[in-house]
A and B are shown apart, each in its own frame.
Chain A
Amino acid sequence: DAGVIQSPRHEVTEMGQEVTLRCKPISGHNSLFWYRQTMMRGLELLIYFNNNVPIDDSGMPEDRFSAKMPNASFSTLKIQPSEPRDSAVYFCASSFGSQETQYFGPGTRLLVL
């Protein structure tokens, strides 16, 4: 079975540009999580969706960040405009129910110059 799929795997962009990260959760999973990982702050939960509905976005750092889940098989995390401090690895994870094991995608390595 396919795991969580993320694209792109690597993204290099210039400050001020818009960045869109994509995630396809495991089929049948109804919970989706976006995380950011940096050396300084570790792994941080940005936003959580349940049944395609955003439940809590309190981890989203600023208004420059937005996330959508138009259907059960697709989610996006957008940064507009991007800044160098947004450079990190962004992981998407999914689970069957919020209490169940979260399965992580391979991540998107973002570098903002």
Chain B
Amino acid sequence: RKEVEQDPGPFNVPEGATVAFNCTYSNSASQSFFWYRQDCRKEPKLLMSVYSSGNEDGRFTAQLNRASQYISLLIRDSKLSDSATYLCVVRTGGFKTIFGAGTRLFVKA
């Protein structure tokens, strides 16, 4: 079983739609959680950190469920520019950082 698992997609949604991604992790000792975004042939960039209480940044909402060991990302009012691969990232103490394989999103006009 992979340490961090994501549905690879792709998710094909129309502009304005709401889309949600989930990510599960296997190590219950994991301490920090993030969502990164990676555009085609570009480097990963931090989208948002994920806090225990849940957090929101504009159209993006991230949530953490420690009991079930998953994190989620909700994108509301999807834009064409949201098309990218979304990487779930889990950090387990110190520096050990595990990236999920990513979920591909295509937003269509």
Residues on A facing B (Cβ under 8 Å): 31, 33, 35, 42-45, 48, 50, 55-56, 91, 98-99, 101-107
Minimal beta-carbon separation of A16 from chain B (angstroms): 27
The CA of A4 and the CA of B54, in the complex, are separated in Å by 30
Smallest beta-carbon distance B5→chain A, Å: 11
Is there a chain A Cβ closer than 8 Å to B101's Cβ? Answer: yes
Q: Given contacts A99-B32, A99-B91, is CB(A45)–CB(B44) below 8 Å?
A: no
| A107 and B95 form a contact (CB under 8 A) | no
Note all chain B residues with C-beta closer than 8 A to A33.
95, 97
Also in contact, A55 and B44, with CB within 8 A (given A42-B100, A99-B32)? no
The minimal Cβ–Cβ distance linking B29 to chain A, given in whole angstroms, is: 15
Query: What 6 additional pairs, Cβ within 8 angstroms, besides A56-B96, A91-B44, A101-B46?
Result: A31-B95, A42-B99, A42-B100, A42-B101, A98-B95, A104-B43
Which chain B residue has the least Cβ–Cβ distance from A4? Answer: B43
B100 nearest CB neighbor, chain A only: A42
Interface residue SS majority, chain A:
strand
A-B contact count (CB 8 A): 41
A105 near B87: Cβ-Cβ < 8 Å: no
Residues of chain A lying within 8 A (CB to CB) of residue B32:
99
- B97 and A102 contacting across the interface, CB-CB below 8 Å: yes
Kindly report which residue of chain A lies nearest to residue B99, judged by CB atoms: A43
Say how far A48's CB is from chain B's closest CB, in angstroms: 5
Chain A neighbourhood of B95, CB < 8 A: 31, 33, 48, 50, 55-56, 98-99
A and B contact pairs by CB, cutoff 8 A, 19 listed: A31-B95, A33-B95, A42-B99, A42-B100, A42-B102, A43-B44, A43-B87, A44-B99, A45-B96, A48-B95, A50-B95, A55-B95, A56-B95, A91-B44, A98-B94, A99-B94, A101-B46, A102-B46, A106-B43
